Amino acid sequence: SLTLLASLAGDVGLAQRTMPTKLIMDTDMTTDVDDVVALCVAHKLQDNGDAEIVGVMHNTGLEQGVGVVSVINHFYGRDNIPIGAFKGDFNNPKGSMDRWVLDYSAGPYVFPLIKEFDAPIKSSITVPEAVEVYRKVLAEQPDHSVVIASLGFLGNLAKLLESGPDDHSILGGKDLVALKVRELVVTGGRYPNSNLMHYEWNFGGGCVWGSPSCPHTPRWTKTVVDGWPDTVPITFSGFELGAGVLTGGRMEQCAPEWNPCRRALELYKKADQNCPPRPSWDSITTLYAVNGVERWGERHQGGYNLINGTDGANEWVDGPPTHQSYLALHFGKADALGNEIDELLCTDPAFAV
């Protein structure tokens, strides 16, 4: 039943907790620094035996974003993780006439990290398209074993659902997801609705702040949320959840200067004078994707996420149980959750290069 399915998703499959969670990260590691923090958290969860990162996808057209992914993977000694990239004009400053894209598509940490730290990959030019990597990685995994943490825009996942059979699998994208994915966890939306902010950035952004609507992102969001197989749980982590949990403030004391996670947070001060610390949108999504929610929150079950395909606005419609839910923080747990994330960030890599 859907109720049982949702319950098992919330417990991250109790029968499977003895095995590391097979994790795919899909990140817009371009503008905000919380994506860097989230990937560092994922690597530490793998160090601890809780996760196995089987792929990292980048979901904007900024070619150097993949270079930052490679810097983090290299720092943790995992150059072998497959990387896929969004290929297209979306948020790609190369040849763009859009002033916002030219000025803000790359956060202040992107180019310095690529310059200051070693990594085998510098640009998306040298990696396959994300959909190809998705299909290859998923086809190689056991059935119903992969958790996808979506930390940015949903273009890669929309293309995956729309993809056809290829050399990696005879299945179309939606059927491949239904067979291989255990859960999708999405940083996106605001709950119970996005009225206070019109639309949340990952669901409807990607252009000038405050625009009535942006190209691409609302359609991608609606395609994924409405088209996701109803046998596979999809859990949303909203803006309101991560905004109140601040992390990274201890890194200047606990991590060496040659730690790219610390360096990225320091560089992001150019965009946010209060950083570090920084809100923990993506690291909470990552932590839930691997370890579940029982220590610090709960999943709001019953109903579905209604997406406006024109602007990306969202509203939770309460009702009978479905495969959809959203995360909520228990009262008084923000500091404890932040400390849990900071402890992971402050622990040295197990296999640093």
The tens digit of pLDDT for each residue in 84-94 reads: 999 999 988 88
- The Cα-based distances of 200 to 17, 26, 132, 190, 308 in angstroms read 32, 17, 28, 6, 12
Instruction: Please work out, in degrees rounded to the nearest 5, the angle formed at the alpha carbon of residue 216 by the alpha carbons of 213 and 221.
Output: 90
Write the DSSP symbol of residue 264: H
Residue 303 is predicted with a pLDDT of 98
Residue 94 is predicted with a pLDDT of 86
pLDDT > 80? residue 285: yes
pLDDT > 80? residue 18: no
Average pLDDT of every residue of the chain:
93
Residues in the chain: 353
Two structure tokens written together for 213: 């609507």
pLDDT > 80? residue 13: no
In terms of phi and psi (left: phi > 0; alpha: psi -120 to 50; beta: otherwise), the region of 189 is left
22 close to 145: Cβ distance less than 8 angstroms: yes
Question: What is the residue-wise DSSP string for 278-310?
Answer: EE-HHHHHHHHHHH-STTTEEEEESSEEEE-TT
Question: Rounded to an integer, what distance in angstroms lies between the CA atom of residue 283 and that of residue 264?
Answer: 15
In terms of phi and psi (left: phi > 0; alpha: psi -120 to 50; beta: otherwise), the region of 277 is beta
Note the Cα 228 to chain centre separation in Å: 17
Question: Rounded to an integer, what distance in angstroms lies between the CA atom of residue 85 and that of residue 101?
Answer: 18
Instruction: Please work out, in degrees rounded to the nearest 5, the angle formed at the alpha carbon of residue 28 by the alpha carbons of 23 and 29.
Output: 90
Residue 96 is predicted with a pLDDT of 80
CB atoms within 10 A of CB 274: 10
| Cis amide linkage into residue 218, ω under 30° from 0 | no
Q: Which of 6, 53, 29, 33 is nearest to 290 (CA)?
A: 53
129 close to 137: Cβ distance less than 8 angstroms: no
Lowest mean pLDDT among 124-128, 184-188, 209-213: 209-213
Question: Rounded to an integer, what distance in angstroms lies between the CA atom of residue 321 and that of residue 6?
Answer: 8
Mean pLDDT of 181-190: 98
Residue 353 is predicted with a pLDDT of 56
Summarised one tens digit per residue, pLDDT across range 303-312 is 999 999 999 9
Percentages helix, strand, coil for the chain (3-state, rounded to 5) are: 40, 15, 45
Two structure tokens written together for 130: 């994300």
Residue 17 is predicted with a pLDDT of 57
Does the CA dihedral 67-71-73-74 come out positive or negative? positive
Mean pLDDT of 58-78: 97
Query: In a 3-state reduction of DSSP, which class is residue 48?
Result: coil
Phi, psi dihedral angles at 266 (to 5 degrees): -65, -40
Helix or strand holding residue 158 (H, E): helix 155-162
Mean pLDDT of 178-206: 97
Local confidence band at 103 (pLDDT 50, 70, 90 cut-offs):
confident
pTM: 0.94
How do strand 181-187 and strand 146-150 relate by DSSP bridges? parallel
Mean pLDDT of 235-249: 97
Local confidence band at 131 (pLDDT 50, 70, 90 cut-offs):
very high
Residue 78 is predicted with a pLDDT of 97
Local confidence band at 327 (pLDDT 50, 70, 90 cut-offs):
very high
In sequence order, the β-bridge partners of residue 129 are 85
Local confidence band at 102 (pLDDT 50, 70, 90 cut-offs):
confident
